[in-house]
């Protein structure tokens, strides 16, 4: 697996139509496990993840990896809040990144079938991915990202609108990936999920990193009034 960390964001700023979405953001991500990005609606969580991943244009600042940018792009993956399904079968969705990366079709199919079974879609490998349930689509999207064994995986609200069972399955995928060496950076509104998964937490407020720390310390005794209010379920603006 490619050595990509630390990820260092310096002065990262994104504006659109004269409105600042995030920034300036200074952030250093290293080590292993799961970093959870939390904050109120409109705080800039999705924009931050997209900026770090490189799929949104920066108006200022830099994002640097421990390896060349071209290598970093190939060794990371991003899963959107609304799963993007190709108009193909479940299996063909899974093997798409493998084939795009040059893997022989026979080998890709074998690995794809293994992953179908791993995520509980073995009996559905021939079905159109577009007819799956929301939870199944999310599992498929995450599996499609993980099948290439990325060094870093970005997840934007991976269990939004999912029921408890589907959320548990998605979290199991995330935990297994992290234990296998994939560095996971995810945003979530689900504080239970944040507590279950996070090694460290980043609290965004008005587009800036308001507080950052190891998960046990942050969730037990946040250092700012705004973070305490947010964790208590109060409205923070």
CA distance linking residue 222 with residue 130, whole number of Å: 42
The residue extents of the domains of the chain are 7-85+132-231, 86-131
Res 216: pLDDT:
96
Question: Using CA atoms, how far apart are residues 215 and 38, in angstroms rounded to an integer?
Answer: 12
pLDDT at 56: 96
Chain-centre distance for alpha carbon 169: 15
* pLDDT confidence of residue 237: 84
User: What is the reported pLDDT for 2?
Assistant: 76
Residue-by-residue DSSP string for 115-172: HHHHTT-GGGTTSBGGGS-HHHHHHHHHHHHHTT--SEEEEESTTTT--HHHHHHHHH
Q: What is the pLDDT along the chain (237 residues), one digit of tens a residue?
A: 778 999 999 999 999 999 999 999 999 999 999 999 999 999 999 999 999 999 999 999 999 999 999 999 999 999 999 999 999 999 999 999 999 999 999 999 999 999 999 999 999 999 999 999 999 999 999 999 999 999 999 999 999 989 999 999 999 999 999 999 999 999 999 999 999 999 999 999 999 999 999 999 999 999 999 999 999 999 998
Q: What is the pLDDT of residue 161?
A: 86
Q: What was the pLDDT predicted at 198?
A: 98
The pTM (predicted TM-score) of the whole model is 0.96
Architecture label for domain 7-85+132-231 = 3-Layer(aba) Sandwich (3.40)
Residue 12 neighbours by CB under 8 Å, 6+ apart: 22, 23, 24, 25, 26, 27, 48, 51, 52, 58, 60, 61, 62, 63
The residue assigned the tokens 């209010």 is: 229
């Amino acid at each position: 697996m490619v050595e990509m960390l630390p990820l260092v964001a310096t002065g990262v700023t994104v504006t659109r139509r004269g409105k600042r979405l995030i920034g300036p953001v200074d952030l250093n991500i290293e080590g292993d496990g799961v970093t959870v990005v939390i904050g109120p609606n409109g705080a800039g969580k999705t924009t931050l993840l997209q900026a770090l991943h490189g799929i949104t244009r920066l108006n200022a600042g830099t994002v640097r990896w421990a390896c060349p940018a071209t290598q970093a792009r190939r060794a990371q993956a991003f899963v959107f809040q609304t799963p993007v399904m190709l108009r193909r079968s479940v299996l063909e969705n899974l093997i798409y990144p493998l084939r795009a990366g040059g893997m022989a079709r026979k080998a890709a199919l074998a690995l794809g079938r293994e992953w179908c079974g791993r995520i509980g879609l073995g009996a559905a490998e021939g079905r159109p991915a577009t007819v799956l349930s929301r939870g199944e689509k999310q599992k498929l999207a995450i599996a499609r990202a993980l099948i290439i064994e990325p060094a870093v995986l970005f997840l934007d609200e991976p269990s939004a609108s999912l029921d408890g069972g589907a959320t548990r399955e998605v979290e199991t995928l995330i935990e297994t990936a992290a234990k296998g060496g994939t560095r996971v950076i995810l945003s979530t509104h689900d504080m239970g999920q944040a507590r279950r998964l996070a090694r460290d937490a980043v609290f965004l407020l008005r587009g800036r990193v308001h507080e950052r720390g190891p998960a046990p310390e942050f969730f037990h005794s946040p250092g700012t009034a705004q973070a305490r209010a947010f964790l208590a379920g109060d409205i923070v603006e």
